[in-house]
Amino acid sequence: DLQAATRLYRDLGSPEVFGLLRLGLVGEKTLAGLARESIRRLFEIDDHEACNVLVEHYSVVTVRIVVEGLAGCDNRWKHEYLKRLFAKDEVVGAPYHMQMVELYAEYEPQALLNFLRASERYPLQDALQVCRARGLLEEEAYLLGKAGHVNEALKVLLEQVGDVGRAVQFAAEYQDPRLWEFLISF
């Protein structure tokens, strides 16, 4: 039977387990329980395929179950899973967006700014603290601007990043005459 075959492939560490899971997670969802109890093992077998299957079937194996199943595992797995989930459906993983800020800052800082722009579902001050702690200046400036601290954001871009072009672009986005005055006086 499908359940026994899937369990056997999982126990053997065979990538064939993912094909069987795809079959058993649609329709009657006969393999939902097995998938839920096997999160860690699935990532150990093939983390990319585990992400694919679990993102495809997030309504059967919930985000909470996957995130809890990855507790104590390599955080890159959680990062990759949440990132792919966000690409598929940004709302379903909303409770984990602050974790995503931390994970992006740690594993993929060059993509954090795009995530910050794409999501509205993280506490601004907490995200700002993460960026400051990691020295992510462009991201810090973006969050300061978003929080309404545009002078401080412009100061970060000019004094710490040293990117006058980016500062001009920032001032143009906000269309605040005081920013232009600050920029000219710099």
Q: How many other C-beta atoms lie within 10 A of the C-beta of residue 186?
A: 12
Cα end-to-end span (Å), the chain: 73
DSSP state of 94: G
Please provide the DSSP assignment of 105-144 as one string.
HHH-GGGHHHHHHH---S-HHHHHHHHHHHT-HHHHHHHH
Tokens representing 115 are 């995530």
Buried b / exposed e over 141-178, threshold 16 CB at 10 Å, is bbbbbbeeebeebbbbbbeeeebeeebbebbeeeeeee
Whole-number pLDDT of residue 124: 97
Please provide the DSSP assignment of 148-172 as one string.
T-HHHHHHIIIIII--HHHHHHHHH
pLDDT, tens digit (0-9, with 9 covering 90-100), for 121-179: 999 999 999 999 999 999 999 999 999 999 999 999 998 998 888 888 888 888 788 88
pLDDT, tens digit (0-9, with 9 covering 90-100), for 19-50: 999 999 987 778 999 999 999 999 999 999 99
97 pLDDT band (50/70/90 cuts)? Answer: very high
Sign of the dihedral defined by the CA atoms of residues 156, 161, 164, 169, in that order? negative
Whole-number pLDDT of residue 178: 82
Whole-number pLDDT of residue 119: 95
pTM for this predicted structure: 0.89
Whole-number pLDDT of residue 28: 72
